[in-house]
Structure 1
Amino acid sequence: MKDILVIRELAAEYAQAAYSDKNKEKIRLHKAVNDLHMIRPIVLIDEIPWGEMETGDELTLRCADADLRKLERRLRRILFQWRHMPADMVLPDYIGVEKVIHSTGIGVEVEEELIEGEQISSHKYHNVFREKGPDMLHAPVITYDRQETGRQWEKVGEAVGDILPVKLVGEATGYGLGCKTWDTIATLMGADDLLFGLMDEPEFMHGLARRLTDIFLNTVKQYERLNLIDMDAMYCHCASALTSGMQKEAGDLAHNNLKKVWGRGLAQIFAAVSPQMHEEFDIRYMKEAMEPFGYVYYGCCEPLDQKIDILEQIPNLRKISITPWADVDVAAERIGSRYVLSGKPNPSRLSLGRPDTEEVRRELSHILAACRRNRCSVELVLKDISTVNGNPQCLFEWEKTAMELVAQ
């Protein structure tokens, strides 16, 4: 009974935020950016070092039941962010219960040496392709565990269903269901062998890319057929997914439709290769992988300012990631008003735990000025925040500075 009271109190506070005029206005701002008719830039904060965020007892878990404790953690983190560093975060007006999904895998497992840290871990990957080639890879078999999903849905529904709707949600097409061929290969070969392979064994590397592209397409079509895609996702990984396009209909929940969700592509390891090699080994396959989707968001941590022209080949491209290692002036000029510029401010400025407001102001003003000059729709996404050196206040200060600047 105590667990239920804890969850109900949190759910009531969540409902108040989700149904607020503030949340409705943020949704309107998100859609305007992704529709390429920006009202003002939006600011998002994600991948937060939650282990360093405790300032009182707001994040302290009180539920004993494992299922309710999991929901409690999610609600406490959402409400903490809503209170202290909301920026332009948006909330669905329901509690989502994730569908329980199983996969048989793609035929190989990562072999690595791992040093685990509190927030992030260090990985040294070993090459699993030393003796075998792409033929060892195969498409997974995806299954939906209706029984376990139903159990969790009923439990959450009984606890809070009279406060706000409880809804089954599938997998969002962000990183988990994104086409990350070369991120996958990097974990199966290691970075050095991958990069040398592009030069020394191009046919072998093309074989891997071909096989993994086929596996990606097979996988997302299984998700579509089994209705396991989150058709109402508000985010595509850490970026906004809200748009006036791809209008959903009631039947889309029962019969998923890839044309009404975002596709995501990335090739982070290709930060180290030329535009020509990037086009040959990734874009060539990405064009096929992204064709089924309504809109496409491309990029992650790889600098793309010198590669906008090759990205334009990707069908349905709508958003491009521009990282701290890219020249935002060049990127904004080449992107213009045709795509959303997803700007990624440098999270390392928070690592010392001291808010350097002037440096943050300089960096964000530079990004915003480049986008204003070139009529770009822009979102600022602070992510990969590995540490705030035990001082969450510097993250709160970053949010205040960013919100002040986008309001100008």
Structure 2
Amino acid sequence: MITAKEREVIRDLGKRLAELANLPIMEERRKLWYAHNDLKTDQPVIDCSPEGAWREIVTPDSLVCEDPVAREIEWTLRARIYRAEVINDDVPAEMRWDCRKRISDTGWSIEGRQAHNAFTNESVHVPTISTINPFWRKDYKFDETAAEFDPLISDDEMEDDEIASKLVAPKVIYDEEGSKRDLEIHQDLLGDILDVHWCGNTYIAFSWMETYTKIRGYENALYDLYDYPDQMHAILRVLEKGYLNLYQQQLDMGLLEMNNGCQYNGTGGYGYTNDLPDLKPGDKLTFKNLWAYAESQEFVSVSPEMTKEFAIDYESRLLSNFGLSAYGCCDNLEKKLPDVLNIPNIRRISVSPWADVASMRDQIGMKAIFSCKPNPSLITNGWDEDLMRKNTMQLMTDGKGTAFEIILKDTHTIGHDPMRFRKWTDMCRECIAKVYG
């Protein structure tokens, strides 16, 4: 039960977020994102995402609310306000407030055994915040240890020529009644302050080799390329069909949502674009209205030829069903870019901390968003102003001539010094002024 005090706290925070969202600077930032994502400007965009470090910014003991639903709402409001007031990057504060529908799935299974987190995990996608874990939950614990793992398909089972056909694809699980109860609470608390949306899934992701490695294990997956290539392809064909069908189920059930605005996109950045226009009254949502994303960072040590054969060819077919696509995560795509750029609707490409930025600039140009990821250890393990400035200046100089965005992410700790995020943002603005004028 949400108390009067909790209601007052949430509504006051909601009003502050609404004030921030209506500031003129926020409209300027929205326009920059639209031009940036539509490839109409080379003006850089700054995205500073605390991610795991959010637990050190909006700490559990700072929350007033005790009710579980109220705690999540309070935490999210405080995080969004903190981003706008303190971090002050180019991600605008927004009036939109999502009440997420309760959607999950059964995961992949075989003979009654289920894959570990085949599609779902604890993280959620929050507009203007990105991907986060449920830091507001009283029972949440940030686990830094390795998880026990047993492959769904053993080496002995890979000798079975029919093993791929025994895989059972995921089915959507939707708690409609629970979702409706959540909506009533969100509307009652914030409906007259923010634009409350009853929101389905906005993040269409094909974590291609992550799924395969959860079925076979990482080391096994690399051996399969040589020991069981035909079996591997047979399994991948089942995964391709099952992956797409999972999202088709969500689409048919009305559980997919437009993601052409402040929704998290790929592995950094947001979906603002005019190239995926909003639906008009009477229009039916299709895959072509949506962003989708794929990555196979587990193949970082695999050759471009094998990456194409076992990953990108499949991912390209999956992504081609959608309107625009993002590709890549922490892996260096420098030598794999020709195949990535052949994805029909590619619009955002991740440039990892280990990539040759100048080489990727020469290949990508203005063909897609240049999603540059600086090494997060430079900020999470301390603060060397001269080193950070030198590194940032080099990234921007080498990336100039692209639709450049600089995304600070994978910051799973900040050493309990959150102001480093603001320092980093301010430093990026200074570097932009020097490199771009």
TM superposition score normalised by structure 1:
0.91
* In structure 1, distance between residues paired with 2:61 and 2:345: 40
In the alignment, what sits opposite 1:338?
Answer: 367
1:151 deviates by 1.0
1:93-152: CA deviations, max 9, x gaps?
A: 22210011132222122299xxx9736443453322114432342222224332211111
In the alignment, what sits opposite 1:303?
Answer: 332
Any idea what SS the aligned residue of 2:46 has?
Answer: strand
In the alignment, what sits opposite 2:65?
Answer: 63
Q: Is the 8 A contact 1:350 1:387 kept in 2?
A: no
* 1:359 equivalent among 387, 399, 411: 387
* In structure 1, distance between residues paired with 2:43 and 2:189: 39
Letter matched to residue 325 of structure 1: W
Residue 267, structure 1, aligned to residue 271, structure 2: no
* In structure 1, distance between residues paired with 2:15 and 2:100: 20
1:39 deviates by 5.3
In the alignment, what sits opposite 1:16?
Answer: 19
- Range moving further from structure 2, 63-72 or 130-139: 130-139
Q: Is the 8 A contact 2:81 2:93 kept in 1?
A: no
In the alignment, what sits opposite 1:98?
Answer: 100
1:313 deviates by 2.3
- Range moving further from structure 2, 201-210 or 316-325: 201-210
In the alignment, what sits opposite 2:180?
Answer: 150
Letter matched to residue 223 of structure 2: F
Distance 1:166 1:111, change over 3 A: closer
* In structure 2, distance between residues paired with 1:58 and 1:10: 16
1:81 deviates by 1.8
In the alignment, what sits opposite 2:205?
Answer: 178
- Range moving further from structure 2, 254-263 or 320-329: 254-263
Letter matched to residue 55 of structure 2: G
In the alignment, what sits opposite 1:51?
Answer: 55
Residue 189, structure 1, aligned to residue 216, structure 2: yes
1:298 deviates by 0.5
1:164 deviates by 2.2
* In structure 2, distance between residues paired with 1:39 and 1:327: 19
* In structure 2, distance between residues paired with 1:121 and 1:136: 32
* 2:37 equivalent among 34, 37, 41: 34
Residue 4, structure 1, aligned to residue 30, structure 2: no
In the alignment, what sits opposite 1:129?
Answer: 153
Any idea what SS the aligned residue of 1:96 has?
Answer: strand
Q: Is the 8 A contact 2:353 2:374 kept in 1?
A: yes
* 2:269 equivalent among 217, 226, 239: 239
Any idea what SS the aligned residue of 1:179 has?
Answer: strand
Q: Is the 8 A contact 1:106 1:139 kept in 2?
A: yes
Q: Is the 8 A contact 1:51 1:119 kept in 2?
A: no
In the alignment, what sits opposite 2:397?
Answer: 369
Identity %: 28
- Range moving further from structure 2, 120-129 or 153-162: 120-129
1:396 deviates by 2.3
* In structure 2, distance between residues paired with 1:99 and 1:331: 39
In the alignment, what sits opposite 2:238?
Answer: 211
In the alignment, what sits opposite 1:383?
Answer: 409
Structure 1 residue runs without a partner (length 5+): none
1:279 deviates by 0.6
1:156 deviates by 1.3
Letter matched to residue 238 of structure 2: R
Q: Is the 8 A contact 2:292 2:326 kept in 1?
A: yes
Any idea what SS the aligned residue of 2:334 has?
Answer: coil
Letter matched to residue 275 of structure 2: G
* 1:118 equivalent among 142, 146, 154: 142
- Range moving further from structure 2, 125-134 or 19-28: 125-134
In the alignment, what sits opposite 2:124?
Answer: none
* In structure 1, distance between residues paired with 2:22 and 2:270: 19
